[in-house]
Amino acid sequence: DTAVSQTPKYLVTQMGNDKSIKCEQNLGHDTMYWYKQDSKKFLKIMFSYNNKELIINETVPNRFSPKSPDKAHLNLHINSLELGDSAVYFCASSRMSSGGYNEQFFGPGTRLTVL
């Protein structure tokens, strides 16, 4: 059984388009995340949702909008795509923790290429 799934795995699109990436987890976790991994492999947290509420919103352009219809899903919508948005986007989930233990369970990643 897939724990954290993302669709699509690959996304190639033109500049200026709007696209969405979907994420689902079946682990019963209450917290979900989006990360961006750039071409230098640097991983940066973008957003975190706990029980459908936004709890972390790092400095990302407001063209990126997460949407959590329920605690098992966290989708990422990107408006007006730019060349610099090309990256691998990872969804992850974890239990809400107090004290630092929140092992991230990652999806397989979505490779976004903006032409």
Partner 1 sequence: AQKITQTQPGMFVQEKEAVTLDCTYDTSDPSYGLFWYKQPSSGEMIFLIYQGSYDQQNATEGRYSLNFQKARKSANLVISASQLGDSAMYFCAMSFTGNQFYFGTGTSLTVIP
- Binding residues for partner 1, per CB under 8 A? 31, 33, 40-45, 48, 50, 55-56, 88, 90, 92, 94, 96-106, 108-109, 111
d(CA 61, CA 46): 10
Q: Which is nearer to partner 1, 21 or 33 (CB)?
A: 33
Q: Which residues contact 34 (CB under 8 A, 6 or more apart)?
A: 23, 45, 46, 47, 48, 66, 74, 76, 89, 90, 91, 92
CB 22, min distance to partner 1, A: 18
User: What spatial distance separates the first Cα and last Cα of the chain, rounded to whole Å?
Assistant: 34
CB 88, min distance to partner 1, A: 7
CB 92, min distance to partner 1, A: 8
Q: Which is nearer to partner 1, 60 or 88 (CB)?
A: 88
Q: Which is nearer to partner 1, 56 or 115 (CB)?
A: 56
Q: Report residue 102 as tokens.
A: 């929140």
CB 103, min distance to partner 1, A: 6
Q: Which is nearer to partner 1, 62 or 101 (CB)?
A: 101
Amino acid at residue number 110: T
> How many of the other CB atoms lie within 10 Å of CB of 115?
10
